[in-house]
Structure 1
């Protein structure tokens, strides 16, 4: 099978400032980089990965470290080719009717130059469709009977001319389809809390691309269970990317998630996940949904921007705001033009789609695929630097809308708190057969979970119910401090004293000699069952039982 040259794939990590080839799962936990890339002998072909806010310089070095490390894989393939290689098949190149191609080029070029200067997407597409009809009518006048092959070649020639017109205008005049220069970014508009009932929401518009980010906060019970080859795990952050047909002016029946939804959503999730607070800092489960309302390039990067704003609007304490930008490339005969914030047509007719996500500090995710034989270090370096400029520009505009995460959560969000108890107290909170924890749920209506390390999670839409449940748990697990005075309830009266409950489940004895000053003839002369009294914790007896006193208060 004809194949241009051998290629190799590799994973690159970075631990303690040193690059690591094909890191193990354990090493990836410590790594600030996780990049999968494909490269040839001379250049990089594909990149997909995530990072913990690394600089452009570190990312560039990582890519070329990977390109160097892939060389042994390529040399093995070359050696195998020398030993076992077979002659390549000869594939006949389809013959082109040069006369027809010349006619189509002459008829379509001026019309396409005019059409490609229309900045509005739908209007431009309508004009391009009309150009195809006009050129076919001119090349195949009424009465002629062109074959399907002739019509197919004519349409192919029109597409080729359209591609050349767009590329030449960018390379020679530095003017893009919508009139922008190579580094220009489309107009950006941001709006937060656009859906008042949602826990967090934001609308991000960049040119003719618009994404609505919506955040829903849940409890531990809402985490996603992952049962994979690596074992069972739970995810408390989920990003769902929806790309309905109407966002590109089409009408199709809705289907399940496709390649675009899965790939774009995963890239955006990678770019945002490293900026989330730890579970200890923010114990909520986070679901972020991106609804792409309009698309003309970079909808996945718009998802990053709207998602970052929506989570900040929800009060999630992100480490920093994140933005994404898609870079393009036009390369021909040594001439190069790197494009910022590419349109859909520039992605389709260009040579590179390079998406970069990051903060003001560094890169958190990137994805690159190309249509040429490879990229040199100089082109990748220039692309990363130009992407950084664009990202900082976008972050500044986002900051004008929402500079940092809101101080509090939405009033519609469930209240979710955690409380650490000693592991040996877990059985007290659960109770025999779960009696106590069921009682707490019935009395307060909260959701409550207890982990093996003693972390108690309490959640409810009713903030007062959360406080009530927390107070019960604290009382059940509270430890009596000797010398402290407590309000207790007399539970039992016996001849030698009274048993007083200072906390639920914690009782101590007030001996008859400690009920009052002087001699007490009968316990009931001082206290009766159900009385609320102030008692002082005096210590423990030989059997470890709590000793209380009323007279020493």
Structure 2
């Protein structure tokens, strides 16, 4: 049985939605194709109401390695738990569809996105939300869509819809936008310090471009959509209960309870007021048996609390902690609180506090990636930890939650834009945000503490980065935008809009809303207000740490980079890796690239420098005029062989040892003597002739040796002309050139003479 197909153009490529061919037993099933990327998206809901008091929606993003022709790299060779990118892709879909379920809808609903084919150019993360929108729209699940989702890049000043992976690498922004026909629902972006107005323009562009997809899904729904099942919403409260309870609460001190400065005291005061109002309405002895009535009164009080808080904000420009809508909470900062960490900082804003810690490592510390992309490793890691004590709660601690992954990714995108390139700063960098206190905007405090810890570690970031979370309260035609929201305002407000950036522009943003969408005008106002707050926070950060420290932390490891001739890599590695093992035994790790780039990593700067000098010696290519302090490693009747550096000897002829005529080498030099010598000739076979520098110009120079007929030159010990100590007619004795022993090499060290050039490029 063939399904029905619907097609439209998106970003210059064909988008195809098909239904009725695969997974036909599920309520809503859609196969989506864009280029050679294919997804199967299903939506299913239970018609029985859940006992949970929240929307039980789950979104799963399943990456199948066969989609790119790979076998999973796990021990079992099968896909395991979702990776970070899969979790982030699921969150994009969840944040788009969640606000459009009916109020009070409490039926378990599941959306599963399975990647069947991935061409590694058309990214599936923004295709999943389109498939979910189509599957929900044609299913029997109550939902107020459709929606659509697109990615926007900017290359050479021009916006591009759904840029390919190749194009995205050239873009200065990575913006994902989801929306309905009339409004924007969700925004997420990473950017290379982009102006606020440019982002708003890009969002408007994205919203216009997604309209064709929304029209396509509407056509599918009209042609194939199932009738929506009747859902059981939360029972409405008695119409007179909320107004009556609101009046009693206001007269009983609700305003004072809401305006309590500290979070825990505010919660205590509100709970005490609520319990007192319940006791006034239920006789003391009947409270335990009147569970339904108590639950109804608690629900009514929550509505009263929300209404009063929103009224204070709209009518009086007054918030729960006494601030107005534009004020940032008090800030205090401490740099380097941890003595052994490479970089650390504590950032506290109101009752939100995050400890940021930076650790520097080598390429061996990069995280390995095993997903559907062609990436193999990541050299910048940011981990966000949210323990239960940060909110004064007791909870079971398990693995990293999806929320922690999402918040960590936002902070990572914010800081990535200002990091130095790996070529300029060859460290793998890990930043950890430990949330110690949380009362709103802990992810933004992670951005601030992370930037401070990077600067404390001496990482040469391009500019400090700060983040702030903005909120929104809308009542009818009135609204107010809130700067630096509290946890209470996040829960009772209509928007969570996080903005990160430098003094020059935005590096990351994320917007989630609980209403049907917001207009570009509100977004512009929110971004302008966020910039004002960001500059204030950056000013506070600059008072403590205005720029990265000029020196790495004393506890940080040292990395020295140098380049060698690629043809000499074998000399550094040695037979069977012997030379590298000896280098690493000196207290450092050594990595060598095919292009001759060598990186030396050590916890000790002294050890790293010693290894660098050893590599310089091993790879040094001598030149005429270079001077050395060398050791005599062999004495022959015609001269002495002097070790210049490991693996390389030169011959000091007897005629170049003294101004006076000498009969025996031993009159001037003996085995293991140290002598300063200068290179005067290097033949085409690399054999080196030496002289004592102080004798240059005082003794006749020796003629450069010329090869004998037939290509033989007699070797280093061959005939070098008339000898003062050899009778005429005597056949010259052949001496082979000795090789330096490991012992002699270890004892010989190149002199730091100015004549020996340093051709390496070191960075530490």
TM-score by length of 2: 0.69
Change (3 A) 1:218 1:109: same
Q: Which has the higher contact order (CA 8 A, sep 6+)?
A: 1
Q: Distance in 2 between matches of 1:102 and 1:375?
A: 29
Q: Distance in 1 between matches of 2:285 and 2:555?
A: 70
Q: Is the 8 A contact 2:468 2:499 kept in 1?
A: yes
Q: Could you tell me which of 629, 643, 647 is aligned with 1:487? A: 629
Stretch deviating more after TM superposition (286-295 or 329-338): 286-295
Distance apart, 1:106 and its partner CA: 3.5
Aligned residue runs from structure 1 range 456-535, under 5 A: 456-517=598-659, 521-535=663-677
Q: Is the 8 A contact 1:109 1:161 kept in 2?
A: no
Q: Distance in 2 between matches of 1:218 and 1:352?
A: 39
Task: Give unpaired runs (5+ residues) of structure 1.
Answer: none
Distance apart, 1:219 and its partner CA: 2.8
Q: Distance in 2 between matches of 1:410 and 1:216?
A: 10
Match of 1:34 in 2: 174
Partner of 1:166, secondary structure, is helix
Q: Distance in 2 between matches of 1:354 and 1:261?
A: 17
CA displacement 1:165-194 (0-9 Å, x = unmatched):
111111111111111111011111111122
Partner of 1:482, secondary structure, is coil
Q: Distance in 1 between matches of 2:240 and 2:518?
A: 36
Q: Distance in 2 between matches of 1:92 and 1:220?
A: 56
Supply the RMSD in Å over aligned alpha carbons.
Answer: 2.1
CA displacement 1:92-118 (0-9 Å, x = unmatched):
553432244444334334443331121
Q: Distance in 2 between matches of 1:233 and 1:552?
A: 58
- Are 2:512 and 1:372 aligned? no
Match of 2:190 in 1: 50
Q: Is the 8 A contact 1:104 1:139 kept in 2?
A: no
CA displacement 1:111-148 (0-9 Å, x = unmatched):
43331121211001011112221222222234657754
Q: Which runs of 4+ in 1 moved over 6 A?
A: none
Aligned residue runs from structure 1 range 95-174, under 5 A: 95-111=236-252, 112-142=254-284, 148-174=291-317
Stretch deviating more after TM superposition (202-211 or 253-262): 253-262
| Structure 1 or 2: more helix by fraction | 1
TM-score by length of 1: 0.95
- Are 2:554 and 1:411 aligned? yes
CA displacement 1:257-299 (0-9 Å, x = unmatched):
1123211111111111121112222222222222211111001
How many residue pairs get aligned? The number is: 552
Change (3 A) 1:501 1:230: farther
Partner of 1:98, secondary structure, is coil
- Are 2:696 and 1:552 aligned? yes
- Are 2:407 and 1:264 aligned? yes
Q: Is the 8 A contact 2:343 2:453 kept in 1?
A: yes
Stretch deviating more after TM superposition (115-124 or 533-542): 533-542
Match of 1:23 in 2: 163
- Are 2:389 and 1:249 aligned? no
Q: Could you tell me which of 508, 525, 528 is aligned with 1:382? A: 525
Q: Is the 8 A contact 2:326 2:529 kept in 1?
A: yes
- Are 2:197 and 1:69 aligned? no
Q: Is the 8 A contact 2:353 2:436 kept in 1?
A: yes
Partner of 2:424, secondary structure, is coil
Q: Distance in 2 between matches of 1:527 and 1:328?
A: 85
Match of 1:361 in 2: 504
Match of 2:347 in 1: 204
CA displacement 1:289-340 (0-9 Å, x = unmatched):
2221111100111111111111111111111001000000001111010000
Distance apart, 1:449 and its partner CA: 2.1
Match of 1:296 in 2: 439
Q: Is the 8 A contact 2:457 2:553 kept in 1?
A: yes
Distance apart, 1:12 and its partner CA: 1.0
Q: Could you tell me which of 302, 307, 312 is aligned with 2:450? A: 307
Partner of 1:398, secondary structure, is helix
Partner of 2:319, secondary structure, is coil
Distance apart, 1:441 and its partner CA: 2.4
Match of 1:82 in 2: 222
Partner of 2:237, secondary structure, is coil
Q: Distance in 1 between matches of 2:232 and 2:675?
A: 100
Task: Give unpaired runs (5+ residues) of structure 2.
Answer: 1-140, 698-764
Stretch deviating more after TM superposition (348-357 or 425-434): 425-434
Q: Is the 8 A contact 2:623 2:682 kept in 1?
A: no
Match of 2:376 in 1: 233
Distance apart, 1:90 and its partner CA: 3.8
Partner of 1:472, secondary structure, is helix
